[in-house]
Structure 1
Amino acid sequence: MSSGESALPLEELLPSREVTLSAEVFVHSLAPVGSKQQQDALVERLSGLVEEGLLEDLDLLVWGDSICTGSLLASIGSGKRIVSTIGEFYALAAKRGISISPFFRISKVTSSFADESFRRIVPPCRCLALYAERELVAVFPCLIDGVAYTPEDAVAALERTRESSMSSRALADESI
């Protein structure tokens, strides 16, 4: 990105420190081959932020490898919650001028065996939603001005916020 372009930096996507933040992690399964270590590391870092008081709460939702939006299962319980949440992700992306589309692949599947077709969403294997005062304020992965940001990038930005906050307190304590 050139210096003349105006990008929405990752830190600007995150809410100010004055609000209460909570996080929700979404995964394909609890132990997928190839991404278990990343899932565990992400949750460990977020849990640390909860312990330090930077996050109020952390929740986890397993959303599977794909979501068939026309299924009866997508209209009840956790199926309804998942479809609704993905809709909220798209609404937030439109409102904030970011993109999540490359990470939530939407396709139509046709079965010649059952002579039927359905629409499905293939979500990312790891996703992080941040809420301020219970309102969705950020979702990762996302694209901001063509730059991809992962859930881990969001956690790193939260950790930097914590470190700068701790530095400010230390300077204030020294001035007394």
Structure 2
Amino acid sequence: MQVRVYEEAVLIDHDEDPRIETVTAELPTTVHITWKDGRADTVELAGWLAENRTVLGALRDPEIFVKPRSAVFDSAVEWGEPDGDLVIDAHHLRLLAMEQRPFRADDLMAWQKRTGMSNHEASGFLNIAVSTYGRWKSGEAEIPQVVAMVCRASLRDPVMIAAYFRPRRPAGRPKKAA
């Protein structure tokens, strides 16, 4: 069995050393980050805070949450006491931001190009009608968040494609045996 390996796509950004220029917070659980590379992201932290409630529980206090600052040589966001436990590293903030970015028709087409799937194969992989896939690609319909998650994850982990991709068989009658 041959496993496809995809080159890094625009849909995934593996910046392993992101640095924070500025950070501000908005209640209840949103941070706005400007990165040193000039990009800017709004990151919703509700899920991250829920998953890490014991360590980051103090961030439920609005007076603490609204006072973030860049820390650890601009590689993290920190709240509360300097060098305390209320810290989220820039790498994970960048990953959250990338997952939360909108996924539009051009992103879907880039995903399809990277995977080398036809429209029928892509719609089969996503378990949707070809007509629905066509509406997403044309921008006529909004792409559901779960589809964005699957597309991005499949580029990070090609085993997902190997596990669920079913190549389309050519149409027509089988060729005669020689």
TM-score for both structures, normalised by structure 1: 0.28
Q: Which structure is larger by alpha-carbon Rg, 1 or 2?
A: 2
Q: Which one has a larger percent strand, Structure 1 or Structure 2?
A: 1
Report which structure shows greater RCO (CA 8 Å, sep ≥6).
Answer: 1
TM-score for both structures, normalised by structure 2: 0.28
